[in-house]
């Protein structure tokens, strides 16, 4: 979870926003004043000592005091003990993560502060979208899963039936927004700089700027990253995780948060299955292990397989969004179930 590092704070640029330095396509750079002191959130000049928990193959857990005089992540030495493996587990404390120089309590506090603010802004986005009958989808995946191609084909296929408006998130460039705009659809690029995810504030500003009409479909392509975007609600109706068969079929188990929080997994590039070592059944079983309710659609955005099912899913969502009362109750119930799961997860970590 990137709330531990505060990456990319105040680095965001939204197209035409003119908040920060700009690098243009021709390489020229110019900047606008802003009140940021610098790119680093904080520093510590003192050493820390705390215990790290270890989980052994037989399920037993114990901890060792650990001196943090040196850089983290360089390995921990425990000479007095025979471990059955050399794995390092940084996700066992209450924060579920690790940041050099920060205690678990401090990290939990930072995460609660950031996510609390984000959730409030996401709720405002959701209210605005629901009131206007706009169906919003947050597409998440690793880089290279084919999200943008999938969106291009989706926008083209829905032309004349639904107005699709797109928000693109990438660290730099407007390449993806340009690809969407080439189809005739409206798109806005958000550049996150050093940031590795979109947040609700960025998306709220982009919605203001794009002003999607009532009843539109809003597709948000998140920054390619299977970790941090899982933690940030943008106000969408659904997260949809895209996994291509050129990646590992064990991704759902390696990055469970993302699959747990997604309503739908699109298994993309299935036309390449004869050429790659990817076990579809194993992948689907893994996804259902972390999220029993996840729906799966196998697609090839370039060759067209499965696209009708995906388009049907969007059209059903769009229709539901246009009957605001039913949809808002459904969305609230879904959100409540998600929050209850998060609370249960946090509780289990704190005990």
Residue ranges binding Mg ion (CB under 5 A): 147-148, 176
Of 98 and 251, nearer to Mg ion (C-beta) is 251
Could you tell me which of 208, 103, 219 has the C-alpha nearest to residue 152? 219
**Min. distance of Cβ 221 from Mg ion in angstroms?**
6
- Of all residues in the shown chain, the one whose CB is closest to Mg ion is 148
Q: Annotate 117-158 with DSSP letters as a single string.
A: HHHHHHHHHHHHHHHTT-EEEEEE--TTSSHHHHHHHHHHHH
* Closest CB to Mg ion among residues 126, 147: 147
Task: Tell me the two tokens of residue 346.
Answer: 């946090």
Rounded least distance, CB 176 to Mg ion, Å? 4
H/E stretch holding 317 reads: helix 307-322
CA distance linking residue 101 with residue 67, whole number of Å? 11
User: What's the closest the beta carbon of residue 240 comes to Mg ion, in angstroms?
Assistant: 14
**Which CB, 128 or 179, lies closer to Mg ion?**
179
* Rounded least distance, CB 193 to Mg ion, Å: 17
Closer CB to Mg ion, residue 4 or residue 145?
145
Q: How near is the Cβ of 154 to Mg ion at its closest, in Å? A: 13
Residue 258 C-beta: closest distance to Mg ion, Å: 16
- Alpha carbons 266 and 247: distance in angstroms, whole number: 13
Residue closer to Mg ion by CB (options 147, 251) is 147
CA dist 342 to 13, 148, 160, 231, 326, Å? 30, 30, 39, 10, 24
Please state, in angstroms and rounded to a whole number, the distance separating the CA atoms of residues 337 and 146. Answer: 30
- Judged by DSSP in three states, 194 sits in coil
Q: Which is closer to Mg ion, CB of 25 or CB of 57? A: 25
What's the min distance (Å) between Cβ of 333 and Mg ion?
31
Distance in angstroms (rounded) separating the CA atoms of residues 99 and 103? 8
Unique residue bearing structure tokens 């037989």? 58
The least CB distance from residue 187 to Mg ion, in Å, is 11
Which residues, 6+ apart, have CB-to-CB distance to 270 below 8 Å? 245, 280, 298, 299, 300, 305, 306
What residues contact residue 4 under an 8 Å CB cut-off, 6+ apart?
A: 95, 97, 98, 99, 102, 107, 110, 111
Q: CB nearer to Mg ion: give 4 or 222.
A: 222
Q: How far is the CB of 169 from Mg ion (least distance, A)?
A: 9
Question: Tokens 């998130």, residue?
Answer: 169
CB contact at 8 A, 261 and 239: yes
Query: Which is closer to Mg ion, CB of 14 or CB of 95?
Result: 14
In the complex with Mg ion, the residue whose CB is nearer, 148 or 244, is 148
* Cβ pair 103, 48 in contact under 8 A: yes
């Amino acid at each position: 979870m990137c709330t531990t590092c505060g990456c990319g704070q105040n680095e965001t640029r939204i197209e035409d926003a003119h908040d920060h330095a700009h690098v243009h396509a021709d390489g020229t750079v110019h900047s606008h004043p802003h009140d940021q002191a610098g790119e680093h959130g904080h520093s510590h000049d003192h050493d820390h000592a705390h215990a790290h928990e270890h989980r052994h193959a037989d399920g037993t857990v114990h901890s060792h005091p650990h001196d943090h005089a040196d850089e983290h992540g360089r390995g921990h030495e425990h000479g007095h003990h025979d471990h059955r493996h050399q794995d390092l587990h940084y996700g066992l404390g209450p924060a579920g993560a690790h940041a050099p120089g920060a205690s678990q309590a401090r990290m939990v506090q930072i995460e609660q502060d950031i996510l609390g603010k984000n959730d409030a802004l996401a709720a405002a986005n959701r209210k605005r979208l629901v009131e206007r009958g706009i169906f919003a989808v947050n597409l998440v995946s690793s880089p290279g899963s084919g999200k943008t191609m999938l969106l291009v084909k989706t926008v083209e296929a829905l032309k004349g039936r639904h107005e699709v408006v797109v928000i693109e998130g990438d660290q730099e460039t407007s390449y993806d927004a340009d690809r969407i705009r080439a189809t005739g659809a409206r798109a806005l690029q958000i550049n996150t700089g050093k940031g590795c995810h979109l947040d609700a504030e960025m998306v709220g500003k982009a919605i203001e700027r794009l002003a999607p009409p009532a009843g539109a479909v809003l597709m948000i392509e998140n920054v390619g990253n299977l970790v941090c975007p899982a933690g940030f609600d943008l106000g969408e109706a659904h997260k949809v995780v895209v996994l291509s068969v050129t990646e590992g079929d064990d991704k759902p188990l390696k990055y469970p948060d993302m699959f747990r929080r997604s309503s739908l997994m699109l298994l993309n590039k299935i036309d390449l299955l004869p050429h790659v070592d990817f076990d579809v059944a194993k992948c689907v079983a893994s996804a259902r292990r972390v999220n029993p309710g996840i729906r799966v659609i196998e697609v090839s955005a370039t060759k067209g397989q499965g696209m009708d099912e995906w388009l049907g899913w969007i059209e059903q969502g769009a229709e539901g969004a246009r009957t605001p009362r039913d949809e808002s109750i459904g969305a609230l119930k879904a959100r409540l179930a998600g929050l209850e799961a998060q609370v249960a997860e946090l509780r289990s970590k704190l005990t």
